[in-house]
Structure 1
């Protein structure tokens, strides 16, 4: 792209048809493309067009991130009354789908790197990690269990309750607000789970939809035990436990969110695990291959807006999580602390 910027002052955009610039822009990397958008108005118009991003998805082999063709053409299928519900236009944010590499594809919010620790994963993927006992470690796929070719490495839990949570901004990955409000597609979450055959263990996979970034509606038990709550419109969970000396084969664990209220934009997925024999080390459940997928219905249709009967004051203000206190340390508000010698 250097030649394009270097000679841009000497080339009038009118001297070349826009399709020439389009053919160049559609093949540059994402970061360069963001800079190109600032060059001139004609570049901005090319890059902001939906057809540009559809073609870019085809060139970059990212068509799996896009909605099915029936939904891309839903402007022609939906009635005028239905279109009025969503502001008159069934427009998809193809740009965010392509840039995030997620959209309507099955994607992994994080990968497990065999030679790194949990702190590395927390920082790299912005995970919410709460560790008990000896914490959470990264292991190969065959420690105390049968190996599986689909699992390269896994997280293994310890003898006290530990949590791994990840946040997904659904609009940021290309799922439009009108889709979440009036289509309410299925949200599928799955992962591979296993345990050591010599130790009893249990794991809880939960997902909840929220209004605020990094908001958490339900928290872990303070008593260190896994609590199985009844499923609610905004929250789903599935539980799995194993007895000692049972077969330790990798298996799938999944849940599906469907009948949720309108207005929700943020997804929080958490995994809580613990071994049930209180053994020092990493004898708890093992998890790997977390996957999330937003699935549009086969039939193009809209639903009435669904109010959230459980919405409360906490849903209406920006969310800020208070970190847990360290054992033996008194939590003193910062504004009340004084240096020695001060009155």
Structure 2
């Protein structure tokens, strides 16, 4: 009879006290912890503690909500869900309460569009990635990379779902932190250019214009703003930071759309238009926070019956031919409007433009 061979048993959950497993799990990512919870009740007991996830956020450098916001929320019967915060931050590569929610979003459109995080949508057109930016004397203040534009209007838009990024809905509805969008921009030293920067908050079920933040009428300050800046030739303008503060938005806002458009004003071939980079999005909790119990109806600054088309067309300057968007009832009338499209039978190089950007008519 052969002697039996025993294999030393590894430690089970009950062999180690909670404090040991606590430290082990503090060094694991969210996916690992989520799977480990299925093993035994001891693991579930440890990870059910909201304080465990608060400590895990701190350990991994995830910014916590400010203490005065935590205190006010607790008084009102709400506590921040640190597990939710950690899960979104760890799996989505985002720090929602940090200095810049867009910190990890690449500047290069080819890389950014493949970034693919579920909490944001990225779209760019007619923008060229430059590293370093061309047309400047190198200085310590100059950014290392930027998007450059040409005589065809270039644009870039980023739609952020704050809830999916880790901000709980009640935080946006009850505490309503200010939302700040920033971006650096500058023209080349040798070419006149124009630059637009815009930010707008939206409800989750509101339509998403494919390109730009646009209002049908005057912009509603509670929803955001649009800034336009013109620079003359030989401006030698240093890099400037544009900032938009959205502080008085209403109930139910979940998305923030940040968009930038730019072009040169002299219609030169090449990337002589405005450049922009270092886009930031941040939540700011004022020292004197107020609790909002009223589910007020947020102001509507556009017709919610507007529809987004399946096929997008652009004119010769990169402008969306549905720039202000049209309702279904107006669709028939819109088909009669003229537009210039880059289709297979249209060669943009054969078109001449006057100083206002309009096509020159052929002389008979």
Could you say what secondary structure the match of 2:197 adopts? strand
Q: Which has the larger radius of gyration?
A: 2
2:208 corresponds to 1:216: yes
Shift in Å, 1:250: 0.9
Could you say what secondary structure the match of 2:47 adopts? helix
Q: Given the alignment, which residue of 90, 109, 112 partners 2:78?
A: 90
Could you say what secondary structure the match of 1:109 adopts? coil
Structure 1: distance between partners of 2:71 and 2:155: 42
Structure 2: distance between partners of 1:180 and 1:28: 30
User: Alpha carbon RMSD of aligned pairs, Å?
Assistant: 3.4
Structure 1: distance between partners of 2:234 and 2:266: 12
The residue aligned with 2:55 is 55
Map Cα deviations across residues 266-312 of structure 1 (whole Å, 9 max, x no partner): 11111111111111111111111111110112134302333123177
Alpha-carbon spacing, 1:203–1:67, altered in 2? closer, same or farther (3 Å)? same
- Identify which range, 229-238 or 282-291, moves more after superposition: 229-238
Where do residues 1-343 of structure 1 align in structure 2 (5 Å cutoff)? 11-62=11-62, 65-75=63-73, 78=75, 83=76, 89-99=77-87, 100=89, 101-109=94-102, 118-124=109-115, 127-131=121-125, 135-150=126-141, 151-212=143-204, 215-216=207-208, 220=212, 230-303=219-292, 304-310=294-300, 314=304, 322-325=310-313, 327-328=342-343
- Identify which range, 252-261 or 321-330, moves more after superposition: 321-330
Could you say what secondary structure the match of 2:277 adopts? strand
Shift in Å, 1:321: 6.3
Shift in Å, 1:14: 3.5
Structure 1: distance between partners of 2:277 and 2:194: 15
Q: Which runs of 5+ in 2 are unaligned?
A: 1-6, 314-340, 346-364
Alpha-carbon spacing, 1:307–1:146, altered in 2? closer, same or farther (3 Å)? farther
Q: Is the 8 A contact 2:220 2:301 kept in 1?
A: no
Q: Is the 8 A contact 1:231 1:237 kept in 2?
A: no
Normalised TM-score (structure 1)? 0.76
Shift in Å, 1:12: 4.7
Could you say what secondary structure the match of 2:260 adopts? strand
- Identify which range, 43-52 or 272-281, moves more after superposition: 43-52
Could you say what secondary structure the match of 2:196 adopts? strand
Alpha-carbon spacing, 1:265–1:201, altered in 2? closer, same or farther (3 Å)? same
